[in-house]
Amino acid sequence: MRHLMSPLDFTVEELNNLFDLANDIEFNLDKYKNACTGKILATCFYEPSTRTRLSFESAMLQMGGNVIGFSDAGSSSASKGESVADTIRMISCYAHICAMRHHKEGAPMVASGKSSIPVINAGDGGHQHPTQTLTDLLTIRSLKGRLNNFTVGLCGDLKFGRTVHSLIHALERYTGMKFIFISPEELKVPDYITDSLKSKNIPYEEVIRLDDVIPQLDFLYMTRVQKERFFNEEDYVRLKDFYVLDKEKMKNAKADMLVLHPLPRVNEIAVDVDDDPRATYFKQVQYGVYVRMALILTLLKTVRRDEEC
Ligand code: CP
């Protein structure tokens, strides 16, 4: 039985198979409408979410499965002090697969160690967000036809943005990548990420001004400043509007540069960019459903009957 804690849990070949399946689902949705009949997905969200939780639920429902879960730790027995280790033992008896989001780094990993059903990390603190990365990779592969030879700009809160950390790790495995990290000094990408790039001789630059580098980029991954991870409001207020991608800035970008964003957006992309054909963030949302359908199918296949609760 397999879990998904990090995008690196799948080999590049396994990811290719997953994306092939997601593209097949995209074009032959009807073929999959009963693929999960009799199966139950539990969504255990201890932190707020719109896209991740609802796209998992939509994915399961579109395949004929059912969904149970909670969207707020306060409405679960976590509010009475129950541990995730105990909770997942219960969930294992109620569902066949679980997507878990938690404010604590590593909580889904702890759950997976006690689970008898596949557990998917749906975001753990400022650490990883592997299914967002699967969404991002599927979007890029589907729209560009490849996952190698890109100059990638990542802009905004690179310190606390878990989607950024997962995406860099995933893209490191493809050839011909160059990373340009665009952030204020206080929100630079963590050292463990740059150490990993150095150890693999993968080129990267760290810059503050988006205008200086935007003409070089094949895609630009914008992120919001992660208010919920800040220790004080004053720092957040000072940094929250550091970057605003607008029509004027887009004039200097390549004609085929993709603008990606995991969403939610706050102010970092002006709404006047939404109509630009290079704005890809709402398309990403749709790819997020296809890839989560493919992931549910793939992980359910890894469960042996004698492992089921
Ligand atoms: N991208 C993403 O994780 O969005 P939600 O927080 O709404 O799930």
User: What average pLDDT does the chain have?
Assistant: 95
The verdict on the CB of residue 49 being under 6 Å from ligand 1 is yes
Domain 130-285 has CATH 3.40.50.1370: yes
Mean pLDDT of 206-215: 97
Supply the residue whose CA is at minimum distance from atom 1 of ligand 1: 262
Pocket test for ligand 1, best of 43, 44, 47, 50 (most atoms within 8 A of CB): 50
Is the domain spanning 7-128+288-307 CATH 3.40.50.1370? The answer is: yes
Q: Does 50 contact ligand 1 (Cβ within 6 A)?
A: yes
| Amino acid identity, position 38 | G
As a dihedral over the C-alpha atoms of residue 66, residue 103, residue 224, residue 272, rounded to 10 degrees, the angle is 20
Residues 6+ apart with CB under 8 A from 215: 252, 253, 254
| Residue 132 Cβ contacting ligand 1 at under 6 Å | yes
* Catalytic residue list: 51-52, 80, 101, 129
Question: How far is residue 166 CA from its own chain's centroid?
Answer: 7
Pinpoint the alpha helices (H) of the chain: 12-27, 51-62, 84-94, 107-114, 130-144, 162-171, 191-199, 210-213, 233-239, 247-250, 281-300
Q: What is the pLDDT of residues 6-59, one digit of tens each?
A: 999 999 999 999 999 999 999 999 999 999 999 999 999 999 999 999 999 999
Q: What is the pTM of this model?
A: 0.94
CATH 3.40.50.1370 residue window(s) in the chain? 7-128+288-307, 130-285
3-state secondary structure of 140: helix
CA 113 to chain centroid: 22
Determine the distance from the C-alpha atom of residue 267 to the mean position of all C-alpha atoms in its chain, rounded to a whole number. Answer: 20
Distance 97 CA to ligand 1 centre (A): 19
Burial of 184 (0-12, 13-18, 19+ CB in 10 A): middle
228 ligand 1 Cβ < 6 A:
no
Ligand 1, atom 4, residue with closest C-alpha:
51
According to the model, what pLDDT value does residue 308 have?
A: 58
Task: Give the residue whose CA is nearest to atom 3 of ligand 1.
Answer: 52
For 239-254, give the DSSP string: HTTS--B-HHHHTTS-
Atom of ligand 1 nearest to the CA of 50: 7
Asked if 51 and 285 count as a contact pair (C-beta separation under 8 A), the reply is yes
Ligand 1, residues 165, 263, 284, 291: which to mutate, most atoms within 8 A of Cβ?
263
pLDDT digits (tens, 9 = 90+) for 123-176: 999 889 999 999 999 999 999 999 999 999 999 999 988 899 999 999 999 999
User: Is 263 a pocket residue for ligand 1 (Cβ < 6 Å)?
Assistant: yes
Residue of 291, 300, 302 whose CA lies nearest to 129: 291
Say if residue 306's pLDDT is above 70.
no
